[in-house]
Amino acid sequence: MTNALEIYQLLPKTNCKECGKASCMAFAAALLSREVTVDDCPPLKEDKFKENYEKLSGMIKPAGEASESGMIVHEDKCIGCGNCVVACPVNVAEDPHGAGSGKAPTSENVILRVEDGVVRLSNVNQCRRFGKNKIMCNGCIVTCPTKAIEFV
Strand partners, 114: 119
pLDDT in tens, 14-50: 999 999 999 999 999 888 877 888 999 999 999 999 9
| Domain span(s) for CATH 1.10.15.40 in the chain | 4-59
Burial 16-28 (b: 16+ CB within 10 A, else e): eeebebebbbbbb
Half-sphere exposure of 101 (CA within 13 A, CB side): 7
The pLDDT confidence band at residue 67, using thresholds 50, 70 and 90, is: low
What is the CATH superfamily name and number for domain 4-59? Electron transport complex subunit B, putative Fe-S cluster (1.10.15.40)
Alpha-carbon span 31 to 61, nearest angstrom = 11
Helix (H) or strand (E) holding 34: none
Percent of the chain with pLDDT over 70: 92
Q: Of 150, 1, 148, give the one whose Cα is nearest residue 79.
A: 148
Average pLDDT, stretch 88-116? 89
Q: Of 48, 119, 46, give the one whose Cα is nearest residue 82.
A: 119
pLDDT in tens, 107-152: 888 989 999 999 988 888 888 887 778 888 888 999 999 999 987 6
